Amino acid sequence: MPTPYFITTAIPYVNARPHLGFALEIVQTDAFARWRRLLGQDVRFLTGTDENSLKNVQAAEREGIPTRDLVERNAAEYYALRDSLNLSFDDFIRTSVEPRHLDGVRKLWAACNRRGDIYKRAYRGLYCIGCEQFYTEDELVDGLCPEHQARPEVVEEENYFFRLSRYGDRLLDLIESDQLRIVPHTRKNEVVSFVRRGLVDFSLSRSTARARGWGIPVPGDPDQVMYVWFDALGNYITALDYANEGEAYQRYWAHNPNRTHVIGKGIIRFHAVYWPAMLLSAGAPLPTTIFVHGYITVEGNKISKSLGNVIDPVDLAKHYGTDALRYYLLREIRSTDDGDFALDRFIRAYNAGLADQLGNLLNRVVSMIGRYYSGVVPAPGEPDPIDRDLTAAAIGLGDRIASAMDRFAPHDALAAIWDVIGAANKYVDDTEPWVLAKRRKAGDAAAEARLAAVLYNLIETLRLVACYCTPFIPAAAAGIAQQIGLPIDSHGDWAAWGRYPAGTSVHPGGVLFPKID
Ligand SMILES: [Zn+2]
């Protein structure tokens, strides 16, 4: 049975339509999921929407519509990313309506409660609704929330609390030993020093009145609803039928060595501290890996509605193509750092990487096979020293990608693929198949053998490039596969050199990536 691999995005608030920042996260996660599938693993890729936030209530109030309607409408927009970004998620959970979630978080609450980790007390604190989080005075910057530059409100009420203070030592041990692996290392260090400063219990509920009646009621106390982060974090297991500890929970959580969360750097405390502590309390296994990506700015500025620079990823994909957008997000943005979206850079990257290099290589190779061999791929001849650079690069590609993807670095994986594409274009220039074809015409048998070998090496390189491109630009990969006359194969030893069957016909198609002016 193939190894299970469970991977999730964070679930976004649905107070607005999806923006580029979430597109980055879900496209990265999709690439990780598709890569694992290519390796033959049994992948479960989960995403969904975080619907019980007060932000959603406020957004609905501004529009003058019921919260339920707003949540419904925006959740559908998030689901629709599946088509516009060509995503392969296996499951999508909505936290305000699905019984599996409501039952699951009630079970999670009860489990923490049984452990004695939930208690009630009066509380006064500074709360940022944007973050759905309490801040201490010294965490604020000039009295404002560091994420939202907004003044938090003073909240005073009786709440349930979670005994986070109990779990500091165990969390430190798990994180420092990489039993809970946090990638990249800088983020791990950040969490370790946060835990070392000492953990304080956090509020686990709010009054139903302050929540305007929106949220999941605390079991046995209808005057309180659960803290939205408690219920949202729970989605990672409630989606797997934690409520009944059913088959999916057993396979993808309880007995799975690969439980991976992909998150943005702003919510690391919730995922690397609160969530593991909740699971320790409930007696459930922890995630094994948390990958933290950076933020994306637009033309150098933080994405914000007030700046009016909210770029719609759906529009971008519609206008320039889904793979064009995926390529930019995965190649041009170093996954662990902050990155920037700029339209001129986007167009330059597209023209250089996709049109001039990949598209051009495909076009050259398929049309030469059409011209010199009537579209039927010849058998490979004897290898020549000049072939070595290309074949070695193509053969080593799998290991380079694997090492990059283990570090959650799709930009490095794509750089490796593009090294091979560059080597293949250079190989065409160096071997000059058109000269070989002329000499063949004049009856040169050695030229005939060389021409066959060169074109075979190129089509075989294209086959591997197509396979390795599937996690990143899946539609283009399928387009290449179509033109070289082979389906993408993820079974058997597809990664071995020389698997392209000679005698196969190519199917020249349209230009894969037309140049953008
Ligand atoms: Zn905030």
Q: Give bridge partners of residue 78 from the DSSP assignment.
A: none
Once rounded to an integer, what is the mean pLDDT over residues 26-47? 97
The mean predicted confidence, pLDDT, of the chain is 95
Ligand 1: distance of its center to the CA of 141 in Å? 11
Ligand 1 centroid – CA 209 distance (Å): 21
Residues 65 and 57: their CA atoms lie apart, in Å, by: 9
pLDDT at 342 over 60: yes
Predicted local distance difference test score (pLDDT) of residue 131: 87
Which of the four pLDDT bands, split at 50, 70 and 90, describes residue 180? very high
Residue 392's pLDDT band (boundaries 50, 70, 90)?
A: very high
The mean pLDDT value for 15-28 works out to 94
| Full-model pTM | 0.95
Mean pLDDT value across residues 45-60: 95
What pLDDT shows up at residue 310?
62
What tokens appear for 56 in the block? Answer: 């959603």
Q: How far is the CA of 156 from the centre of ligand 1 (A)?
A: 18
Compute the distance from residue 132 Cα to the ligand 1 centre, in Å. 7
Report the C-alpha dihedral over residues 36, 334, 294, 317, rounded to 10 degrees: -70
Cα(130) to centroid(ligand 1), Å: 4
Judged against a pLDDT cut of 70, whether residue 305 lies above it is answered with no
Does residue 176 have a pLDDT over 60?
yes
Ligand 1 centroid distance, CA of 158 (Å): 22
Distance 78 CA to ligand 1 centre (A): 22
pLDDT at 242: 98
Q: Residue 122: is it exposed, middle or buried by C-beta count within 10 angstroms (0-12/13-18/19+)?
A: exposed
| Non-local CB neighbours of 215 within 8 Å, separated by 6+ positions | 52, 206, 208, 225, 226, 228, 231
Going from the Cα of 70 to the center of ligand 1, the distance in angstroms, rounded, reads 21
* Ligand 1 center–CA 135 separation, angstroms: 9
Residue 306 has pLDDT above 60, yes or no: no
